[in-house]
């Protein structure tokens, strides 16, 4: 198992960094898990085509979206974290292996990326 380094982002960088994550992971697959302390991990999406990750400062919400482009997944599904308190970027051999977003109540959501194709191809 690889040990991941992580970087906690400044709130002022959230929008720009998440736009960069979206660009770098175009075409990848993504898993979205809510790590509920009472119920345990809850999968919102598992290895579905990644659409985008964005921060909306006006609504103070992070939006993680899957689907919408490939014919097999024509509908965009969105998971929202309202009033996020922290965003961490975990890195390994790729620009980002995962993004962790902590909600106002302390519940983390983990967004993990899986290359749909080998990097550099």
Any domain includes 97: yes
Single pTM value for the model: 0.85
- Exposed/middle/buried for 53, CB within 10 Å: 0-12, 13-18, 19+? buried
- Exposed/middle/buried for 63, CB within 10 Å: 0-12, 13-18, 19+? middle
The whole-angstrom separation of Cα 35 and Cα 115 is 23
Give how many domains the chain has, as a whole number.
Answer: 1
At 46-96, the pLDDT tens digits run 999 999 999 999 999 999 999 988 788 888 999 999 999 999 998 655 556
Which residue segment(s) compose the domain that 31 sits in? 5-114
Any domain includes 121: no
At 18-35, the pLDDT tens digits run 999 999 999 899 999 999
Any domain includes 119: no
């Amino acid at each position: 198992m690889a040990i991941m380094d992580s970087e906690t982002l400044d709130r002022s960088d959230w929008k720009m960094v998440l736009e960069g994550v979206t660009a770098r992971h175009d075409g990848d697959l993504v898993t979205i898990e809510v790590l509920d302390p009472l119920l345990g991990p809850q999968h919102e999406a598992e290895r579905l085509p990644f659409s985008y990750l964005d921060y909306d400062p006006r609504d103070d919400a992070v939006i993680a979206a899957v689907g919408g482009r490939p014919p097999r997944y024509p509908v965009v599904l969105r998971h929202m974290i309202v009033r996020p308190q922290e965003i961490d970027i975990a890195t390994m051999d790729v620009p980002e292996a995962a993004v962790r977003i902590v909600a106002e109540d302390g519940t983390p959501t983990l967004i993990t990326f899986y290359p749909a194709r080998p990097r550099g191809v």
